[in-house]
Amino acid sequence: MHRTLHCPTSLFGALFAMLSCIAQADIAVERADWGDFFSQYKAEGTIVICDERAASKGYMAFNTERAGRRYSPASTFKIPHALFALDAGVVQDEFEKIKWDGIRRSVPIWNQDQDLRSSMRHSAVWVYERFAEMIGEPKEREYLERIQYGNQDTTGKGPFWVEGNLQISAHEQIGFLRQLYRNKLPFDVAAQRLVKDLILVEAGRDWILRGKTGWSGAVGWWVGWVEHPAGAVFFALNIDTPGRMEDLPKREGITRAILASMGALKPEAEQGGGGQPATRVESK
CATH number at residue 263: 3.40.710.10
Q: Is 75 a catalytic residue?
A: yes
Residue 23 lies in a domain: yes
Question: Does 163 fall in a domain?
Answer: yes
Structural domain contains residue 170:
yes
DSSP class of 149: -
What are the 10-residue block averages of pLDDT along the chain, 284 residues in total? 37 45 67 98 98 83 98 98 98 98 97 98 98 98 98 97 98 98 98 98 97 98 97 98 98 98 81 40 43
Q: How many CB atoms lie within 10 A of CB 53?
A: 22
CB 222 within 8 A of CB 250: no
pLDDT at position 132 is 98
- Residue 282 is assigned to a structural domain of this protein: no
DSSP E strands, 9-132: 29-30, 45-51, 58-62
Residue 169, in any domain of the structure: yes
pLDDT at 4: 34
Its domain, for residue 150, covers 11-271
| Domains in the chain, number | 1
Domain contains 6: no
**Dist. CA 80–CA 136, nearest whole Å:** 15
Please give the pLDDT value at position 27.
Answer: 76
Pairing mode, if any, of strands 45-51 and 58-62? antiparallel
Instruction: Write down the pTM of the prediction.
Output: 0.88
Identify whether 280 is part of a domain.
Answer: no
Give pLDDT, residue 272. 45
Annotated active-site residue in 56, 72, 75, 216: 75
Within a domain: residue 265?
yes
Q: Which residues of 126-145 are buried (b: 16+ CB within 10 A; e: fewer)?
A: bbbbbbbeebeeebbbebbe
Pairing state between β 45-51 and 200-203: unpaired
Alpha-helix runs per DSSP H in 24-149: 35-40, 64-67, 78-88, 116-121, 125-135, 137-147
